[in-house]
Amino acid sequence: MSTTATSPVPGKPQPGKPQPDTQGATEKAPVLSAKPVTWKVPVLLTVLGVVAFIFFGVMGPNQTAKFGISSSGDFFQLPAIEVPAFLGGIILSVLMLGLAAYALYLKTRNEPSPGWVPVVFIVLFVAAFLIWVVGGARTPSISLAGLIAGSVTLAVPLVFGSLSGVLCERVGVVNIAIEGQLLGGAFTAAMVATLTKSPFIGLLAAAVAGAVVSMVLAVFSIKYLVNQIIVGVVLNVLVSGLTGFLFSTVMQADKARFNSPGRLPIIDIPVLSSIPVIGPILFKQSVVGYLMYIAVIVVWIGLFKTKWGLRVRAVGEHPQAADTMGIKVNATRFWNVTLGGAVAGIGGSFFTLVAIDSFTKEISGGRGFIALAALIFGRWNPIGAFFAALLFGFADNLQSIVTIIGTPVPSQFMAMLPYLVTVLAVAGLVGRSRPPAASGIPYVKG
């Protein structure tokens, strides 16, 4: 994990003009000294810690929260974890405040907080939040295994989407069109799988469809030098309109012939899938689910351990240098963006081949944008993006579970959570997230 040190950025407030600010501490944040350590992380952690202490601790519920770990079909049974919500909230929030104090202490010595501090803080915060939510519910008991398994399932398209984003942005092309790639993949998967009566061919077709959407992005942004964000935004609208139009005219007219793709089978690896908690997550997935793990690992190894990855990153960070070294910048960009689209397309097939077995309008429901957020939250790193996507899947799943067990928190706020977290993330909770330097900038030789 990188440090939280912020280099002077153009667009930062000037030192000569301190602006009025109600949060006293952040006032000193933008100092254009040689190596400033910002107040952002310590202050944010302190604020969140205090919030956690007040809400999860002092005002915490008095019930005992019960978290089931094993499901009935498991290899061996583990006892459920029972936490007194009040005590748990107090302990966890005190730990959080401790971390915040540590970050503040480091700040006074002008040292950046190490990367693990915010990560541990987030884990603690999520745990305290869970205890608080479950402890305050009508039935203070949830299955942790089910919660996590459901989160992974919901995260599948997000992971694919954010991997697509990683592949594109690492090579210097901003991919706002993830949503369109997912949607295109979902539509094509449903259509082709129904026509060929094979979900596997549908899966392949989804990859092709995603790649085609991406190629439009690539052609317009690389050959015609159109602003990449514009192309991305417009492509989302285009794919939404196209799939919506074809859905209304073709699919709805004859559902049996065009829109009943059938599902990809869930492949259950014997014995291993009976391990509590991790069994269902790792060894009881559809092909798309297994592909997700493979894709994350392959993309990570590819980007950081191979010659290809080095070239890709060089193109994304400094295309001129890469060009000087004989790398074909625009060709690399084109094929990488196409590959990214194919990955997102596979993710899109999840909607129509795994989750439900038919296509409806706007089936991706804005998940492409969450994938974009996951990509940034995960700092343009495949592994980071994977865990960020898991976190968003977790929030999504928690929202539906929480509605069932009945908590005092309105479900709309739970739904809002991923977006709020992303705002905090991009505003600097997890250090400064730095995109590849040439991301969004077309390359013109000469």
Residue 346 interacting with other proteins (CB under 8 A): no
**Cβ pair 387, 1 in contact under 8 A:** no
Residue 22 interacting with other proteins (CB under 8 A): no
We find the least distance from the C-beta atom of residue 338 to other proteins, in angstroms, to be: 18
Work out which of 84, 115, 244, 262 binds other proteins, going by CB under 8 A.
Answer: 244
> How many chain residues touch other proteins (CB under 8 A)?
73
Nearer CB in complex with other proteins: 81/253: 253
Residue 365 interacting with other proteins (CB under 8 A): no
* DSSP per-residue codes, 53-86: IIIIIIT--SSEEEEE---TTSSS--PPEEEEHH
Residue 442 interacting with other proteins (CB under 8 A): yes
We find the least distance from the C-beta atom of residue 210 to other proteins, in angstroms, to be: 18
Task: Give, as ranges, the residues between 163 and 202 that touch other proteins (CB under 8 A).
Answer: 174, 176
Nearer CB in complex with other proteins: 122/131: 122
Residue 119 interacting with other proteins (CB under 8 A): no
Work out which of 54, 230, 272, 356 binds other proteins, going by CB under 8 A.
Answer: 230
CA–CA gap between residue 345 and residue 337 (Å, rounded): 12
Q: Please provide the distance, in angstroms rounded to a whole number, between the alpha carbons at the two ends of the chain.
A: 36
Beta pairing partners, 141: 66
CA–CA gap between residue 411 and residue 390 (Å, rounded): 19
Pairing assessment for the beta strands 266-268 and 284-286 based on DSSP bridges: antiparallel
CA–CA gap between residue 365 and residue 351 (Å, rounded): 10
Work out which of 1, 51, 229, 278 binds other proteins, going by CB under 8 A.
Answer: 229
CA–CA gap between residue 139 and residue 83 (Å, rounded): 14
We find the least distance from the C-beta atom of residue 403 to other proteins, in angstroms, to be: 12
CA–CA gap between residue 136 and residue 90 (Å, rounded): 15
Work out which of 240, 260, 358, 403 binds other proteins, going by CB under 8 A.
Answer: 240
Site string (383-422) toward other proteins, x via CB under 8 A: ---------------------------x-xx-xx--xx-x
Work out which of 226, 275, 383, 405 binds other proteins, going by CB under 8 A.
Answer: 226
We find the least distance from the C-beta atom of residue 406 to other proteins, in angstroms, to be: 15
CA–CA gap between residue 254 and residue 272 (Å, rounded): 42
The first and second tokens of residue 342, run together, are: 């194919």
Contact region with other proteins (CB under 8 A), list: 134-142, 148-156, 301-309, 361-369: 361-369
CA–CA gap between residue 345 and residue 205 (Å, rounded): 8
Element (H, E) at 286: strand 284-286
Task: Give, as ranges, the residues between 314 and 343 that touch other proteins (CB under 8 A).
Answer: 320
Contact region with other proteins (CB under 8 A), list: 133-141, 195-203, 364-372, 387-395: 364-372
The first and second tokens of residue 374, run together, are: 């996951």
We find the least distance from the C-beta atom of residue 248 to other proteins, in angstroms, to be: 4
Site string (258-297) toward other proteins, x via CB under 8 A: ----------------------------------------
Task: Give, as ranges, the residues between 26 and 85 that touch other proteins (CB under 8 A).
Answer: 26, 29-30, 40
**Cβ pair 353, 156 in contact under 8 A:** no
Q: What is the DSSP letter of 24?
A: G
Nearer CB in complex with other proteins: 174/346: 174
Nearer CB in complex with other proteins: 48/95: 48
**Cβ pair 166, 343 in contact under 8 A:** no
Residue 235 interacting with other proteins (CB under 8 A): yes
Nearer CB in complex with other proteins: 405/409: 409
Residue 379 interacting with other proteins (CB under 8 A): no
- Residue 301 has φ and ψ, to the nearest 5°, of -60, -45
Work out which of 100, 183, 189, 231 binds other proteins, going by CB under 8 A.
Answer: 231
* DSSP per-residue codes, 209-271: HHHHHHHHHHIIIIIS---HHHHHHHHHHHHHHHHHHHIIIIITT-HHHHS----PPEEE-TT
CA–CA gap between residue 227 and residue 356 (Å, rounded): 36
Work out which of 54, 59, 81, 225 binds other proteins, going by CB under 8 A.
Answer: 225
Dihedral sign (CA 115, 119, 121, 122): positive
* DSSP per-residue codes, 144-185: HHHHHHHHHHHHHHHHHHHHHHHHHHHTT---TTHHHHHHHH
Amino acid at 439: S
Work out which of 3, 13, 25, 215 binds other proteins, going by CB under 8 A.
Answer: 13
We find the least distance from the C-beta atom of residue 138 to other proteins, in angstroms, to be: 18
We find the least distance from the C-beta atom of residue 426 to other proteins, in angstroms, to be: 4
